[in-house]
């Protein structure tokens, strides 16, 4: 089994060989490593993309707006991902961002995952019947279990999800009330044993 370090290094070198700068290649290496760490097909997808990139054209999107429409070719997932990561503080205000066509969308996910960690919010990406949820760069969940991610994603929607409790207030109150049974009433003995300077000063 290949180590994550080998995956990172080989992806980086292959990316440089295909024409990306070393700086971009570094980001690609980290991203493919992250995909493989989360059990997604990073190496396989990157290899397929590079085989196609030699003969096909893709559009680079460097400045992301609320609604993005490619002029002719599908967006390059690498440049789009890096742009998203670089601009996440500004993109956060949009809440919903759309793209008409992205090639190999799986390669965008690690950039969204890292963006999620930066802003401290979950990010959801959906297209057609496929959906991914990026959770603070801790994990990626999806409804695509045991299915291949499409090579082209049409009508892509990315949502920045505001933080909120995943439970009702009544459930919280009920659980908190139960937790109160562990509270210990303060006694003279517990006061003396509490943190801070005791009865003896060693200075």
72 is a domain residue: yes
DSSP-based three-state secondary structure for 52: helix
For residues 178 and 168, what is the distance between their CA atoms, to the nearest angstrom?
16
- Interatomic CA distance for residues 85 and 109, integer angstroms: 11
Average pLDDT, the chain: 92
Range of the domain at 44: 4-161
pLDDT digits (tens, 9 = 90+) for 91-102: 999 999 999 999
pLDDT band at 120 (very low <50, low <70, confident <90, very high): very high
- For the chain, how many structural domains are there in total? 1
The CA distance from 28 to 11, in Å, is 7
Bridge partners of 135, per DSSP, are 139
Question: Are residues 99 and 68 in contact, defined by beta-carbon separation less than 8 angstroms?
Answer: yes
Q: What percent of the chain lies above the pLDDT cut of 90?
A: 85
pLDDT of 147 > 80? The answer is no
> Does 201 have pLDDT greater than 90?
no
The predicted-structure confidence for 18-74, as pLDDT tens digits, reads as follows: 999 999 999 999 999 999 999 999 999 999 999 999 999 999 999 999 999 998 999
Residue 180 falls inside a structural domain: no
Burial readout 118-138 (b: 16 or more C-beta within 10 A, e: otherwise): eeebbbbbbbeebebbbeebe
The answer to whether residue 179 sits within a structural domain is no
| Residue 168 included in any domain | no
């Amino acid at each position: 089994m290949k180590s994550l370090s080998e995956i990172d290094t080989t992806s980086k070198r292959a990316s440089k060989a295909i024409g990306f700068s070393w700086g971009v290649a570094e980001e690609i290496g980290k991203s493919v490593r992250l995909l493989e760490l989360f059990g997604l097909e990073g190496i396989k997808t990157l290899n397929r993309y590079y085989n196609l990139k030699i003969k096909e054209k893709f559009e680079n999107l460097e400045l992301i707006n609320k609604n993005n429409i490619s002029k002719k070719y599908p967006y390059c997932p690498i440049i789009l991902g890096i742009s998203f990561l670089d601009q996440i503080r500004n993109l956060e205000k949009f809440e919903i961002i759309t793209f008409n066509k992205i090639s190999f969308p799986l390669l965008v996910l690690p950039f969204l995952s890292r963006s999620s960690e930066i802003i401290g919010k979950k990010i959801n990406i959906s297209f057609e019947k496929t959906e991914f949820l990026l959770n603070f760069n801790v994990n990626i969940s999806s409804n695509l279990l045991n299915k291949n991610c499409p090579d082209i994603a049409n009508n892509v929607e990315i949502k920045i999800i505001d933080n909120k409790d995943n439970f009702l207030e009544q459930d919280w109150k009920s659980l908190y009330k139960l937790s109160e049974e562990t509270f210990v009433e303060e006694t003279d003995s517990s006061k003396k044993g509490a943190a801070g300077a005791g009865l003896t000063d060693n200075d």
